[in-house]
């Protein structure tokens, strides 16, 4: 049995993992639910991930994408793998803060 990770976005800050689990259980067994929170404030970041077997996941994605929950249209899709390096990307503008390579110095 293949497990699929499902992205669930546009969640209300008050939505709990239990509520998300109950929503997805309608389509099959939920392996896990992980709602992300801000590391400093502990507040919900408005998205998370649900793991289900592949067949149940596909049915849940189809049925729940754009469904209105707590006045918000959910964004539900298959989760994409993380990019290597995980986060901060430098765009070639000098240093980490775009130092500009000496502009303004004479």
Nearest C-alpha neighbor of 52 from the set 10, 18, 21, 17: 21
- Distances in Å between the Cα of 31 and the Cα atoms of 1, 13, 53, 97 are 12, 23, 8, 41
Indicate which CATH number applies to the domain containing 55. 3.30.70.330
23-67 per-position pLDDT tens digit: 999 999 999 999 999 999 999 999 999 999 999 999 999 999 999
8 lies in some domain: yes
100 lies in some domain: no
- Count of the separate structural domains present in the chain: 1
pTM score, whole prediction: 0.76
């Amino acid at each position: 049995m293949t497990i699929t990770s499902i992205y669930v976005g546009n969640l209300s800050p008050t939505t709990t993992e239990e509520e998300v689990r109950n929503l997805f259980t309608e389509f099959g067994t939920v392996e896990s639910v992980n709602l992300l929170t801000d590391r400093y404030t502990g507040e919900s970041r408005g998205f998370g991930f649900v793991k289900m077997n592949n067949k149940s996941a596909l049915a849940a994605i189809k049925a729940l994408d754009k469904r209105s929950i707590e006045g918000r249209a959910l964004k539900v899709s298959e989760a994409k793998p993380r990019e290597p390096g995980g986060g901060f990307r430098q765009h070639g503008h000098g240093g980490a803060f775009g130092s500009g390579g000496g502009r303004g110095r004479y």
